[in-house]
A and B are shown apart, each in its own frame.
Chain A
Amino acid sequence: MLATNYRGPYRIRADFNKPMPEIEHPNDAIVRVTRSLICGSDLHLYHGLVPDCRVGSTFGHEFTGIIEEIGSSVQNVKVGDHVIVPFNIACGSCVFCRNQLYGNCHETSPQASAMAGFFGYSHTTGGYDGGQAEFVRVPFADVGPYIIPDDIDVDDAVLLADAYPTGYQAAEMADISQGDTVVIFGAGPVGIFAAKAAQWMGAGRVIVLDRENYRLEFVKKFAQCEAYNFLEMDDPVTFIKKITDFMGADSCIDAVGCEASGSKLQGILGVKMKIQAGSAIALQWAINSVKKGGTVSIVGVYGPTANLVPIGNAVNKGITLRGNQASVKRHIPHLIQKIRDGLIKPSEVLTHKVPLEEVGEAYHLFSSKLDNCIKPVLIPPSAMH
């Protein structure tokens, strides 16, 4: 079958000779992929920053597909169902899953106890091949996959696999109360959805910072928020203090993660030399920009082991730090209702539709932010129509 094949940092291709996935557990399903997205966090894999990312792996944790085969114990889905597959692989029975923390499942990632299993995100998250392929093995098919309602377009549905719930959960973890000032670092898809969600939660002001003007223009329209380019500032923290009467924001959201630009020191130590787990400058700004007693919500992806962050400021300011992988299954019904209510059309962030065969070009386009790319969608040959 056709599938992406990671060959090393900045090298990825689509090969026709990947073996078809097989049922390996009675609750597996084999899904024929209809849409597969490239996530900003896939770029950390592509750039060689995630440990135990093995040559030959297939990436892709945001996808929809049609069930082609089911294991002997599968009851809740059947062959022919068109499903959203959450990026979390969840067993449904461990203490975390029983309390709806599906992104923290304890039974799906043998290589790292800190992680749950995710599709296509290296052996650090369980070693599962992902959905940037024609077919994919989906474990625990009775727990994860969600049947796409007839009135929801597949291009909107695929964003429910990760980006849209992650953005919404970022805003939830920021503990936004009506009238709050919320600052979001990063105008990628997750930051864009977080800005929208912050408006739904009644934020008084929503302020987004990024370095790409085209993304700032997009989020201004999509989320009806303020958007500023931090390259035009001497210091984003001082800027935020000035525009918040020198108090700081009630909540800050880090929607950037470990490849944040804005600090040469962080970049050299983290991204180039890997002495720390990537650059944490966005998180540093978030901690320093939030007001005393405020909340910092972290959905940006960071890897092992540690990062340079001003933990002393977090202590002295009495900040609440919250972070997690999104519990996608828990959010889907609520977020589908927002689409039905006409409050959001998630597919507006999909700027590029690319055949799966051109995955190398798609990754480079997304990584280099060319052609005003916000989020590319990969389409396998069978889904091209």
Chain B
Amino acid sequence: MEFQRIDHKDIVGWGVDADKSVRPNYPMWKPATEGTGAHWAIPEQQPNFKDFYSMERPGPTHVFGSTVPPKGLSGLIRKLSFAKFSEGHWEHWILLLMADRIGVFEGIIDDVLHGTMPRLLKERGWEVDKKFKTKRYKKVVTLSALAVLAPIVFIAFNMNKNEQPGAR
């Protein structure tokens, strides 16, 4: 393997931040002497918390997200995860992952009930494969077509054979 050597005088801006005191994150704990933009000592509490909070906290945070509140079977599993296990337990996260996977099926059912048929190929971005991985795309399409057609042809062939006189 060829090793590369680069002369510093050719590097644009080399060493402009060599002095550590000019770096914004130095030192890491550094009071915001010009303020943070906050004009409150304690933020106002956002109302209507309808989700779960970690048992490693006294309660919900003063501000929180409200998208996709828990519901259904996945919601019950999330409730169990937050009620029984703290963040340091593997079980807490595995239950949440399990709820996520159950949520996928709940999402498909929800789509169908609301008149939206899931378009799996579009959602997975298959148009991109058609353009940039053409060989793979053609192979998958061909194999999928064969997988669908082969049983149909087989059944049709056998039905045809059974209808002929003397066939068993």
Within 8 A of B (CB), among A21-62: 24-27, 48, 51-58
Of A99-107, A261-269, A288-296, the stretch lying at the interface with chain B is: A99-107
* B64 & A11 in contact (Cβ 8 Å cutoff): no
Interface flag for B41 (CB, 8 Å): yes
* B62 & A56 in contact (Cβ 8 Å cutoff): no
* A54 & B14 in contact (Cβ 8 Å cutoff): no
* A127 & B65 in contact (Cβ 8 Å cutoff): yes
Interface readout for A213-243 with B: 1 if CB under 8 Å, 0 if not? 0000000100011111000110000010001
A interface, over-half SS: loop
* A202 & B1 in contact (Cβ 8 Å cutoff): no
B interface, over-half SS: loop
Name the interface size band of chain A. 35 or more
A361 CA / B37 CA spacing, docked (Å):
39
B contact residues around A110 at 8 Å (CB): 49, 51-54, 57, 59-61, 64
Interface flag for A148 (CB, 8 Å): no
- Which of A101, A139, A144, A370 touches B28 (beta carbons < 8 Å)? A101
A contact residues around B133 at 8 Å (CB): 368, 370
Least CB distance, B113 to chain A, in whole angstroms: 14
Least CB distance, A332 to chain B, in whole angstroms: 9
Not counting A220-B4, A224-B12, a sample of 14 additional A-B residue pairs whose C-beta atoms are within 8 angstroms of each other reads A48-B97, A92-B36, A92-B38, A93-B38, A100-B30, A107-B61, A110-B52, A110-B64, A123-B65, A127-B66, A128-B65, A143-B37, A341-B16, A371-B132
Interface residues of A (CB under 8 A from B): 7-13, 24-27, 48, 51-58, 73, 75-76, 89-93, 97-102, 106-114, 117, 123-124, 126-129, 139-140, 142-144, 169, 172-173, 177-178, 197, 199-202, 204-205, 220, 224-228, 232-233, 239, 243, 274, 303-306, 324, 327, 329-331, 333-334, 338, 341, 343-344, 360-365, 368, 370-371
